[in-house]
């Protein structure tokens, strides 16, 4: 009896085991060096569908998935397997998991178990001189050439990333894997329109080289600053040492990840000794000019006075000196204009501020000279330049006697000292009137009743106003937009707080005008909605550009001038959108 139960259980177990599906993962090794490769195989013994691999977040996929199927009949018995193969390299040292893969079979989902991989430091691997991988390792290099390692704050430095490769190998495809973030630097890239191949000597051998990327950096703080490496994934054609039937060299393609290495820069602070009181952060070599568009004009006519800073240095990262004018000349807010060339040696050109001046009285008015101080890294000292004084001759208008000091108020000269006093009198007889029954009497009765009526109308409108929840929400958002815009203006000396307030102002403006919610604040959605309601494309692009500046400023410091420009653009942009809406 027991033997019957045993045979029945064995038969049931065999049938149950025959119906099971095996979906498993295997790896070539569980411990490897940072410079080694890992093979991962996901194998199933049934023809599954919709295979979904893990993310491999701690590894770089060199190749895969490569799918192979084995379907073998031996003595009438079928053996089936399907395998997905990947080749990986680790990104950094540590302990990482190959997470679960998934596959479907007959409506059911099957998963592998995670596998733990221990990545240690790079190991010494015996090199075969004829192995294409070893050839690429020795004949392909990415180098970052730095112009100087000990600059002053706001002194420009350049980085040129050069890709060196031997003359018997040929890069065919290059992808950027990791772009460095230049934290604590103000930076711009120099275009490399044609990556022409040149030759140069590298480590005593002749190499081909391509200048891949050029960057100019202006350090914004003193101390030891680090620049992360640029990493490229390069596919290289390498000769195999074999030839085809026509004696042509046979090449094979080898992928290679190359990095330029970390760069450390020691930034020197600007000296405090001898720093002028009017120093605004200019570093370089500059000159200053002051000129006017008119030398002679009438009172209440306008002219332009222009302060121009020219030279080479951090032209976008300092404030221009203010123009002082006599009190008898009305002065308006200046307009800025830039004519700056940005190349590998830094910024050069000029920055001009134009003031509109309107003299009120006739006379000759001196426009005082303007001083400008900067630090010259070549002479390692502060220098001050001064413009020429300009003279404006106002030929017609009310007369004025100017004080010797142009900053003091002008004394107006009037021919008759008491001309403004009326000397001729005209008397009017006072007729007595009765108050009761007069217009004044009835007016004093009606006025309080009118006030009560107006108050009742106002209270009714206010209740209706507050009952409109959507309107209240929009008005609140509009009020918050103006509040944060004012807060941004108050924080022009603090880049992070300024851009946080500016971004809040833009978001609240969108809530007020477009009834958008915070969850909808993606740049693409904002762009689409603004375009749909009829806002012109240049204005939409300006709006998105300011939002991008707010995001970018979280990682890269901005100058006061750049923040002032973003604030002015935002205020102008909101006004223009209001007009179009």
Rounded Cα gap, residues 145 and 161, in angstroms: 6
- 505-522 confidence digits (pLDDT tens): 777 777 666 666 554 556
User: How much is the CA Rg of the chain, to the nearest whole Å?
Assistant: 39
pLDDT at 571: 79
Residues forming beta bridges with residue 264, ordered by sequence position: 226
Rounded Cα gap, residues 426 and 93, in angstroms: 102
pLDDT surpassing 60 at residue 466 = no
Confidence tier at 417 by pLDDT (50, 70, 90): very low
Domains of the chain: 21-120 (2.60.40.740), 132-267 (2.60.40), 284-412 (2.60.40), 469-580 (1.20.120.330)
Q: Which residues of 525-562 are buried (b: 16+ CB within 10 A; e: fewer)?
A: ebbebbeeeebeeebbebbeebbebbeebeebbbbbbb
Lowest mean pLDDT among 187-201, 338-352, 521-535: 521-535
pLDDT surpassing 90 at residue 66 = no
Q: What is the mean pLDDT of residues 543-561?
A: 70
Residues forming beta bridges with residue 391, ordered by sequence position: 366
Q: What is the mean pLDDT of residues 172-189?
A: 87
pLDDT surpassing 90 at residue 580 = no
Q: What is the mean pLDDT of residues 327-333?
A: 91
**310: buried, middle or exposed (CB in 10 Å: 19+, 13-18, 0-12)?**
middle
pLDDT surpassing 60 at residue 479 = yes
Confidence tier at 347 by pLDDT (50, 70, 90): very high
Confidence tier at 528 by pLDDT (50, 70, 90): confident
pLDDT at 149: 92
User: Roughly how many angstroms between the first and final C-alpha of the chain, as a whole number?
Assistant: 92
Report residue 442 as tokens: 């009835």
Separation of CA 116 from chain center: 38
Q: What is the mean pLDDT of residues 480-487?
A: 68
Mean pLDDT of the chain: 81
Lowest mean pLDDT among 84-93, 300-309, 337-346, 513-522: 513-522
More confident residue, 333 or 563: 333
pLDDT surpassing 90 at residue 251 = no
More confident residue, 566 or 13: 566
Q: What is the mean pLDDT of residues 108-132?
A: 81
pLDDT surpassing 80 at residue 198 = yes
Confidence tier at 10 by pLDDT (50, 70, 90): very low
More confident residue, 21 or 525: 21
pLDDT at 420: 44
Confidence tier at 411 by pLDDT (50, 70, 90): very low
pLDDT surpassing 70 at residue 125 = no
pLDDT at 16: 42
Q: What is the mean pLDDT of residues 493-498?
A: 74
Residue in 130, 141, 131, 126 with CA at minimum distance from that of residue 171: 141
What is the DSSP secondary structure assignment for residue 399, as one 8-state letter? B
pLDDT at 480: 58
pLDDT surpassing 50 at residue 487 = yes
Task: Report the share of the chain in percent with pLDDT over 70.
Answer: 80
pLDDT surpassing 70 at residue 534 = yes
pLDDT at 577: 77
pLDDT surpassing 70 at residue 185 = yes
Rounded Cα gap, residues 541 and 562, in angstroms: 18
What is the DSSP secondary structure assignment for residue 165, as one 8-state letter? E
Confidence tier at 128 by pLDDT (50, 70, 90): low
pLDDT at 293: 93
pLDDT at 370: 95
- 367-401 confidence digits (pLDDT tens): 999 999 999 999 999 999 999 999 999 998 887 55
Confidence tier at 136 by pLDDT (50, 70, 90): confident
Rounded Cα gap, residues 304 and 290, in angstroms: 11
Q: Which residues of 492-522 are buried (b: 16+ CB within 10 A; e: fewer)?
A: eeebeebbbbbbbbbbbbbbbbbebeeeeee
Place of tokens 């990104």: 91
Q: Are 546 and 506 in contact (CB under 8 A)?
A: yes
């Amino acid at each position: 009896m027991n033997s019957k139960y045993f045979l029945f259980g064995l038969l049931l177990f065999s049938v149950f085991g025959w119906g099971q599906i095996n979906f498993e993962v295997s790896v070539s090794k569980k411990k490897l060096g940072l410079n080694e490769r890992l093979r991962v195989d996901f194998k199933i013994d049934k023809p599954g569908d919709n295979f979904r691999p893990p993310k491999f977040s701690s590894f770089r996929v060199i190749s895969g998935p490569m799918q192979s199927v084995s379907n073998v009949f031996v003595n009438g018995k079928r053996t089936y397997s399907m395998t997905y193969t990947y080749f990986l390299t680790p990104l950094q040292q540590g302990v990482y998991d190959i997470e679960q893969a998934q596959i479907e079979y007959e409506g059911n989902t099957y998963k592998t178990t995670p596998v733990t991989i221990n990545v240690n430091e790079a190991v010494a691997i015996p090199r075969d001189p004829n192995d294409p991988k070893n050839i690429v390792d020795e004949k392909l290099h990415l180098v970052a050439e730095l112009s100087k390692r000990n600059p002053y704050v706001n002194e420009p430095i350049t980085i040129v990333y050069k890709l060196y490769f031997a003359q018997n190998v040929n890069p065919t495809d290059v992808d950027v894997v990791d772009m460095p973030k230049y934290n604590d630097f103000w930076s711009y890239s120099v275009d490399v329109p044609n990556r022409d191949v040149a030759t140069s000597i590298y480590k005593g051998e002749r190499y081909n080289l391509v200048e891949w990327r050029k960057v100019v950096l202006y350090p914004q703080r003193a101390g030891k600053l680090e620049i992360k490496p640029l990493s490229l994934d390069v596919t290289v054609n390498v000769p195999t040492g074999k030839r085809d039937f026509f004696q042509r060299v046979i090449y094979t393609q080898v992928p290679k990840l190359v990095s330029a290495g970390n760069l450390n820069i020691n930034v020197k602070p600007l000296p405090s000794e001898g720093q002028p009181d009017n120093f605004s952060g200019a570093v370089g070599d500059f000159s200053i000019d002051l000129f006017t568009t008119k030398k002679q004009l009438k009172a209440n006519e306008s002219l332009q006075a222009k302060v121009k800073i020219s030279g080479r240095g951090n032209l976008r990262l300092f404030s221009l000196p203010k123009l002082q004018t006599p009190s008898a000349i009305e002065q308006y807010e200046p307009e800025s204009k830039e004519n700056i060339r940005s190349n590998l040696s830094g910024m050069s050109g000029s920055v001009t501020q134009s003031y509109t001046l309107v003299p009120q009285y006739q006379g000759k008015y001196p426009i005082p000279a303007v001083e400008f101080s900067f630090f010259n890294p070549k002479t390692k000292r502060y220098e001050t330049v001064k413009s020429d004084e300009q003279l404006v001759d106002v030929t017609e208008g009310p007369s004025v006697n100017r004080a010797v000091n142009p900053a003091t108020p002008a004394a107006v000269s009037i021919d008759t000292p008491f001309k403004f006093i009326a000397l001729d009198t005209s008397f009017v007889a006072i007729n007595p009137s009765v108050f009761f029954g007069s217009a004044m009497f009835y007016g004093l009765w009606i006025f309080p009743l009118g006030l009560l009526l107006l108050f009742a109308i106002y209270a009714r409108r206010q209740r209706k106003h507050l009952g409109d929840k959507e309107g209240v929400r929009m008005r609140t958002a509009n009020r918050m937009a103006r509040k944060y815009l004012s807060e941004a203006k108050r924080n022009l000396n603090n880049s992070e707080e300024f851009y946080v307030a500016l971004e809040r102002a833009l978001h609240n403006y969108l809530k007020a005008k477009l009834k958008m919610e915070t969850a909808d604040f993606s740049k693409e959605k904002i762009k689409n909605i603004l375009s749909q309601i009829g806002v012109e494309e240049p204005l939409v692009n300006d709006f998105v550009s300011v939002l991008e500046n707010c995001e970018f400023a979280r990682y890269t410091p901005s100058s006061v001038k750049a923040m002032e420009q973003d604030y002015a653009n935002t205020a102008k942009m909101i006004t223009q959108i209001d007009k179009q809406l």
